[in-house]
C-alpha cells in the first residue's frame, strides 16, 4: 500500500511539474496579440488602393518572430517584418489585395510564429467588396470593338 501511495505521489509530481513547465513557456515566451483578426477593406474602387495594414503586439517576455505568412490565394499578398518584435513592441503586416477583380473579398492570411506549439498559428480574415469596373475603364470605349480599332467604311 505504501508503494502505491509513493508511486502515485511521483506521478502527480511529474504531471504538475510538466504543467508548470508548459505554463512557464507560454507566459515567459513570445505572445502575438491583436485587437481584431479581420482586415476589412469595406467598399473599394475597381483597380483602387489594395494595400492595408494589420497591427499586432508582442505581449510576451521573449522576442516574437513571424516565421511564415501566406495569403489564401495569389491575389492576397502579405508582407511581414523579418526582424524579431521585442516584448512590448508593435509590428505591422502589410496586406496587398489585387483590386483588378470586382466582387466580394473573402480571403485569409495565415501567420506562423515562434510562439509555443499550439499557439503559433494565426489566421487573419480579409474581407470587403471591390466595386464593378466603370464602363470603358479597361481602355476600350463602349462604342469601340474589342479588337481595338474602329472599322472604316470604304
Q: pLDDT digit string (tens) for 70-90?
A: 999 999 999 999 999 999 999
Give 1: exposed, middle or buried? Use CB within 10 Å, 0-12, 13-18, 19+. Answer: exposed
Is position 47 within any domain?
Answer: yes
Summarised one tens digit per residue, pLDDT across range 127-144 is 999 999 988 765 333 444
Summarised one tens digit per residue, pLDDT across range 12-41 is 445 444 444 445 555 689 999 999 999 999
- What value does the mean pLDDT of the chain take? 82
Domain count, the chain: 1
Count of other CB atoms within 10 angstroms of residue 126:
22
Per the structure, the complete domain to which residue 81 belongs is given by: 29-130
Give me the CATH number covering residue 91: 2.60.40.10
Amino acid at each position: 500500500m505504501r508503494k502505491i501511495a509513493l508511486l502515485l505521489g511521483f506521478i502527480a509530481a511529474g504531471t504538475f511539474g510538466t504543467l508548470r513547465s508548459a505554463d512557464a513557456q507560454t507566459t515567459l515566451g513570445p505572445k502575438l496579440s491583436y485587437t481584431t483578426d479581420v482586415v476589412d477593406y469595406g467598399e473599394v474602387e475597381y483597380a483602387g488602393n489594395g494595400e492595408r495594414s494589420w497591427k499586432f503586439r508582442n505581449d510576451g517576455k521573449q522576442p516574437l518572430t513571424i516565421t511564415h505568412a501566406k495569403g489564401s490565394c495569389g491575389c492576397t499578398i502579405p508582407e511581414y517584418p523579418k526582424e524579431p518584435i521585442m516584448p512590448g513592441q508593435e509590428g505591422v503586416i502589410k496586406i496587398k489585395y489585387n483590386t483588378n477583380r470586382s466582387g466580394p473579398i473573402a480571403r485569409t492570411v495565415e501567420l506562423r510564429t515562434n510562439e509555443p506549439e499550439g499557439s503559433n498559428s494565426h489566421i487573419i480574415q480579409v474581407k470587403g467588396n471591390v466595386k464593378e469596373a466603370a464602363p470603358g475603364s479597361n481602355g476600350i470605349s463602349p462604342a469601340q470593338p474589342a479588337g481595338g480599332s474602329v472599322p472604316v467604311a470604304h
